[in-house]
Structure 1
Amino acid sequence: MPDRPAASRSLPVLIVVIVLSAAMLRGPILSVAPVARTIGADLSVGAGVIGLLTTIPVLCFAVCAPLAIAIIRRAGADVALSLTLGGVVLGSILRSVDGIAMAMVGTAVLGAFVTIGNVVLPIIIAREFSARRAHTMTGVYTAALNVGTMTVTLGTAPLSDVVGWRWAIASWSVFALIALVVWVGLRGVRAAFAPRPGPRRDADAPRVSVLRHGPTWLLAAAFCGQAFAFYAITAWLPTLLGDQGFSSSAAGAIAALFQVGGMIGSLLLPVVTLRSSILIGVLCVGIGWLTVPLGFLFAPGLWLAWCVIGGLAQGGGVTIVFIMINAFGDDEHTTAGRSGIVQGLGYAVAASGPLLLGALHEATGAWTVPLLVELVAVLLFLFPGLAVARHLRTPARGSAR
């Protein structure tokens, strides 16, 4: 990928765009959860139907990944980000204007455009920042994902009490609108909206399709493990803690430490990779992740340690995956393909995490089997992740295309 670091005077503005955009990749989707009962009562639908408003976007992350790749390759990364931000605003409005049918349509639109953002933002980070800064900005990007989640989780219900649930869940899209205005101001109208395919390497350079590139599939497997483990434990950690005797409010507060740890882990991981190596980063994340299933299986009384260490690991896990996606040093065309494959498969597997752990807990009446499944997911992240990190230390001749 061509090294085109952003001009120093535009760096602060670009960072603002990245942070706001990242926050909008999760915030509007998860804004439904705090007011789910209110929405269900107003629209006269059950919890299962309301649950689709958070499940559909995750499925879109998988199904729409090929579309995201095609748009980035044909229109370029700048236009793809503009489409993401505009699509988030459009989907948020559609979701709030009418009944449950329009809410589903708006949610699908939101999920489709967020999928483009999932793929393109790491590409823009790699393109605009030098190699060392890109590690740090990837950490900032993934931390912003968690910041967006926490902001809407804390703010939606109080806002709903004042303006109603429709305005409450739609209002978060204002940050996407601000990011779009700043982005257009930074790039200019022509660059932000006129399709321009990203640069490719010289035609004489050796080319290998990402579909035939082994490390791409290993990285996809690692992200499957990371995403499954995160979504599954996030969904059921409060219940697991409740079964240990904590009240609902206490369990929710403890589970929040897991998310706070994620923000810190996202920012600390680049420090590890820059001072040591990507391989050490993967190893640290994997060991940290293992404390969650093993800790709750064998020493549940140390729940605070497992929530904090596991939180650091889950934040570092998604960061290290995005760092490795860009670490092959390929052009936008190739990186878009790799990112789409990795994220498409990862989110497809992740969507089953909460359902599978819940079903196993209900079937067994205990947490042993669900935690063993969580352990398998963590190992699925660790071993393929280590293999990719070793490949990056000793790359083969030629690069994936």
Structure 2
Amino acid sequence: MSNIRRTAGGSALLVAVLVFALNLRTPITSLPPVMADVATGLGLDQTVAGLLVGIPALCFSVVAPAASALIARVGPYSAVTVALMGVIAGTLIRSAGTGTLGVVAAFTGTVVLGSAITVGNVVVPVIIARDFPARAALATGLYSSTMNLGSVFATSLTAPFAALLGWQGAIASWSVVAVVALVVWLVTTRHLTDPHVTRVAAVAPAERTGETWGGVLRRPITWALTVAFAGQSFSYYAVTGWLPELLRDLLDVSVTTAGNAAAPFQGLAIAGSVLVPLALATRIPMRGAAVTMGLLWVSLPLGLLLAPEWWLLWVSLAGIAQGGNFVVIFTIVAQRCRTVAQTRRTVAAVQAFGYAVGATAPTAIGAVHTVAGGWNAVLLVLLGSTLALATAELIATRRPRRPRPSQEDFHSH
């Protein structure tokens, strides 16, 4: 088994994971660039059409426990296969038909997509923790960077594709990336055995107290990471949804110019995803990386309140933070969980609660802006959410009382 595990921890598997990760955001971010065409083509108003973007985020929360159960039943490797097949099916269903049938297909495909991507969201941290224990930060950073790179490609290329293929052909074309990922995954893992599947297929071993849902939810680290990820998700979705309008009012510019001004927040996430693993590789403590990312997040609302003329700096620092902070949270999960069962349930719990909070952000921020009649109250809410995530990560990076068990213990369950 040790030879198999060494093979599983090699470069080929990591490349396959990254090709898979390209598909975890592109189906979502490919839709907004052609949203007006989608609404017209399906006969929907913009609000209802917007649900096609919001539903996946809701799935990330609601489906996470079921994703954890699926991974337990079929094993992490097979779960990736299931996720990719779901992405392919959901992408094609979503773009099939017009009129009433087209609307039903669009929403059905979106739910399938959201559910499949949720499986991916949960299973990748599990594979990283199990198969790349010595390179968890690097693997998580590359994973996060690849997701963001996929978002950039989808956002940039979908509109040109639509000019050639129509909106349905454009969003359906991203299924090709999933097909390639599926082939790469099956070829890479065809000789790899999954010890988790072997144990489940025989007589499932009794789970330790810390591996059950009750045990995972009783661990303080679970709740510290949940608060951190909830703060991260709320801040991310709030800024993604409202930063262009905030900058339009602040700078008194056009909608297009404001959108371009907000772009560094998304683009610099890749830099943050790379910088955190590099910092950890130079022996900077995890707590140092966590505090730094927390402060960079806090700089956006605080900076816009106190020195709005430096808006580009604050937007750029927050962009680095939103990419780097994702790496911090899930690297801590990999470091502090002892077994596959504990890892998958911790990831599912963190994401279920975190994405549920994040899904409320656009509506909550819009309500605060309407009631307050300005942006200062909104920035104070963002200051609260970013301070919450920074504080939670400070707690999560306290030195554990007991050393982490050996990797053999991790693989045995």
TM-score by length of 2: 0.90
Q: Are the structure 2 counterparts of residues 332 and 303 from structure 1 closer, same or farther at C-alpha, using a change threshold of 3 Å?
A: same
Q: What amino acid maps onto 1:223 in structure 2?
A: F
Distance of aligned partners of 1:197 and 1:263 in 2 relative to their CA distance in 1, 3 Å threshold: farther
Paired letter, 2:226: A
- Shift of residue 16 of structure 1? 2.6
Runs of 4+, deviation exceeding 6 Å = 198-206, 396-401
Q: Counterpart in 2 of 1:35?
A: 34
- Report what 1:96 is aligned to: 95
Partner of 1:175: 177
Structure 2's unaligned 5+ residue stretches are: none
Partners of 1:251 and 1:374 lie apart in 2 by 19
Q: How does 1:333-344 map to 2 (within 5 A)?
A: 333-344=341-352
**In structure 2, C-alpha distance between the alignment counterparts of 1:232 and 1:103, rounded to whole Å:** 25
Give the 5 Å matches for 1:159-170. Answer: 159-170=161-172
Alignment match of 2:318 (pick from 310, 313, 337): 310
For 1:222, which of 221, 228, 248 is the aligned residue? 228
1:256 equivalent to 2:258? Answer: no
Report the equivalent of 1:211. 217
Per the alignment, residue 362 of structure 2 pairs with 354
- Residue number among 143, 146, 152 corresponding to 1:144 in the alignment: 146
Distance 2:109 2:207 in 1: 45
Residue 201 of structure 1 deviates from its aligned partner by 12
Residue aligned with 1:390, SS: coil
Alpha carbons of 1:323 and 1:248: their partners in 2 closer, same or farther (altered >3 Å)? Answer: same
Report deviation, 1:104.
0.3
Distance in 1 separating the partners of 2:368 and 2:131: 45
Q: Who is 1:297 aligned against?
A: 305
Q: Which residue of 1 aligns with 2:56?
A: 57
Is 1:371 aligned to residue 379 of structure 2? yes
**Could you tell me how far 1:162 is from its partner in structure 2?**
0.3
Whether 1:7 aligns to 2:7 is yes
**Which residue of structure 2 lines up, in the alignment, with residue 154 of structure 1?**
156
- Equivalent residue, structure 2, for 1:127: 130
Q: State the shift of 1:303 in Å.
A: 0.8
Q: Which amino acid aligns with 1:49?
A: V
Change (3 A) 1:279 1:231: same
Aligned residues: 396
Aligned to 1:72: 71
Change (3 A) 1:19 1:396: closer
CA distance in 2, matches of 1:61, 1:277: 30
User: Distance in 2 between the 1:69 and 1:212 partners?
Assistant: 18
TM-superposition CA deviations, 1:204-252 (whole Å, max 9, x none): 9774610211211111111000111011101111111111212222222
Residues 188, 372 of structure 1: CA spacing in aligned structure 2 closer, same or farther, 3 A cutoff? Answer: same
For the structure 1 residues 198 and 383, does the alpha-carbon distance in structure 2 shift closer, same or farther, using more than 3 Å as the test? farther
Distance 1:259 1:171 in 2: 23
* SS of aligned partner of 1:346: helix
Aligned equivalents of 1:282 and 1:135: distance in 2? 12
What's 2:243 paired with?
A: 237
**Contact 1:4/1:129 (<8 A) preserved:** no
CA RMSD of aligned residues (A): 2.6
Normalised to the residue count of structure 1, the TM-score between the two structures is 0.92
Which residue number corresponds to residue 47 of structure 2?
Answer: 48
Q: Deviations over 1:335-375 (max 9, x none)?
A: 00000000111100000111111221122221011111111
Letter in 2 for 1:229: S
**Residue type at the aligned position of 1:234:** T
Partner of 1:112: 115
Partners of 1:229 and 1:47 in 2: CA distance: 24
In the alignment, residue 152 of structure 1 is paired with which amino acid? A
Superposed CA deviations along residues 114-161 of structure 1, whole A, max 9, x for unmatched, are 101000011112222242x22111101011111111111111111001
Amino acid of the residue matched to residue 345 of structure 2? G
Evaluate the alpha carbon distance shift between residue 216 and residue 118 of structure 1 in structure 2; reply closer, same or farther with a 3 A threshold: same
Between the aligned partners of 1:120 and 1:3, the Cα distance in structure 2 is 22
SS at match of 1:246: coil
Q: In the alignment, what sits opposite 2:388? A: 380
- Residue number in structure 1 paired with 2:22: 23
| 1:3–1:205 CA distance, 2 compared to 1 (3 A) | farther
Rounded to whole Å, the distance in 2 between the matches of 1:198 and 1:308 is 46
Structure 1 389/165 Cα, relative in aligned 2: closer, same or farther at 3 Å?
same
Deviation per residue, 1:154-191 (Å, 9 max, x gap): 11111001001111111112111111111110111895
Unaligned stretches of 5+ in structure 1? none
Question: Cα 1:204–1:174, aligned 2, differ >3 Å: closer, same or farther?
Answer: closer
Residue identity in the other structure for 2:324? G
CA contact (8 A) 1:3 1:128 kept: no
- Whichever residue aligns with residue 7 of structure 1, its letter is T
